[in-house]
Structure 1
Amino acid sequence: MRADRLVAALLFLQTRPSGARVTAAELADELGVSERTARRDLEALASAGVPVYSQPGQGGGWALVGGARTDLTGLTAPEIRALFLLTGPDSAAANPRVRTALRKLVRALPAPLREGAEAAARAGVADGTDWTGAETEEVRLAPLQRAVVEGRELRIGYARPGREPRERTVQPLGIAVKAGVRYLVADTADGLRTFRVGRVASVAETGAPAVRPEGFDLPTAWRALAARMEDRMVAATVRGRAAPGAEGVLEGLFDGRIRYGERAPDGWAPFEADGPSPEAAAARLAGLGARVELLDPPEARTALARIGAELTALYGESEPAGTPEAPARARASGATRPG
């Protein structure tokens, strides 16, 4: 910890204009330590050969001899801009460690690069508010990251969509980010697996060290895992036609895995869309109602017809579900509510 403070003290000194002095009280406030500790740190820098000197009396303080500077980064201007654009002010505000790291980095930069870094940090905004209401990743992310770094075996509860969480023992190997979504890459009894961080319901260390496969390389492993996920996402292709104005909704439903043909004179456009199964594709299209006609394959049309029949049985009558007549009508039609 003292080594960190000494580096921070040196960076604080070198941000001052040439000839300007820093008092022990100012440094103490910056580092969050006592004035006595700050004075000892300054003296330690001088003893270590850093060209820092003190001047006693009114208006005195500590300064670097001749405005000496230390470049601790080795970063280029484009690299610095990219870093500060990535970790803008809102990201730093949300994470005290990021804020401290960026502050130290700014002070370590040579003067010609510092202004551009500060401008890049002000050029973006990050809003962590989740408008979708989906599960947050942040609660589970910290213990998962710690287990990866420290090599700790974990017992996690993992909930797939529509199912209760199931516990399993995993060997955490890394965290991957795909389109803004974080995944834990871990070794399991069934081989390498990915776990969406937002679906991790619980995290507990088993007390055993994690077993890391020999020669494991996270980027290589992730590419293989991602390829498998991509294959599952495009395992089935459905064909249909879409009414004018439906294309934007379809793009979102199929995450861009959709192709259009030439629009017909009536304005409808033929399309092909890829999904994990014909049934899953039909479920995605059900909300579009009559704005989409599904043509192929037959099992997708059957699934869509079944969904339509269930919705008609459940909502086709005028009585709300809470009225005495509604349950009887639903039972008569054979419809059941989802659990």
Structure 2
Amino acid sequence: MAILLLLQQREQVTAAEVARELEVSERTARRDLDALSTAGVPVYSLQGRGGGWRLVGGARTDLSGLTAGEARALFLVAGPASAATPAVKAALRKLVRALPEPFRLQAEAAASSLVLDPQRWGSSPVEPRPPRLLDDLQDAVIRGVQVRLGYVDRSGAETERTVHPLGIVAKGPSWYLVAGTDAGRRTFRIDRVSSAGPTGDPVHRPADFDLAASWRAIADEVDRKRTPLETQALCTPDGIGVLRMAFGARLEVGGATTGGRIEVVIRGSNEYVLAGELAGLGEWIEVIGPATVRDRLASIGTTLVERYSRLPPLQ
């Protein structure tokens, strides 16, 4: 596919040019060019100085029928968010170099327009459908145009503003737009977007903007706001793996103490919920603060002892 697109774009290519563009050896490039000819594709070679490979009579193939939208959709799977194999991503990154110029920039933009973050915020038993305006907003990101955005906040109040779409993020089942605004960079839940009209004006995209890095910073900030309580504890070395599985990004691992245990910080929403999560981990950790969490753990322990010490033995 890449060789055919190169031929259509440049009219004539050499094996050396194909090898350089597609990061293969010249031997492989010649073999593939010969294979195209053998397969009946109207490709022929010109020998001697200034020679190379051409399509007979400037022929066109069905590959040139790719629309801009189809090219963008194809190259979405080449980006860092894709679940495609490394080989598929590498092949598509090579193919993008052979696209006609009008498609190439949008295909490259498509490859970096989406981030997939599988971790949910909270629980959502029902998998929602993709938001109504998801395709419109992703198109604006890829084409690099500003959007007049209608948005409904948590309280139900609707506002309208012009934003600079920078990227789309799928966070579990929810979709978010990362955009520049007059008030700085903001994140919008796409299922709350009521309208999205492109203005035609170009997006002001920071030269060093990286969607994945930007989203990590946003997600870390949101997680900290959702779990503001920090509990300090000492953990045995063999318990660190258990804590990582239980708390994920809410766990921060520090250094080792003189006694061999490891300092950790665990974040939670409040002392009641966090103490409940920690109560079953006494084999590995000792909570050293704050006092409210220690008191809650002591209360849980007392309740458990009183309740289960009085039970008759099972027959």
Q: Above 0.5 in TM-score?
A: no
- Class of the TM-score when normalised by the shorter of the 2 chains: 0.3 to 0.5
Larger C-alpha radius of gyration, 1 or 2? 1
**TM-score in terms of structure 2 length:** 0.45
**TM-score in terms of structure 1 length:** 0.42
Q: Which has the higher strand share?
A: 2
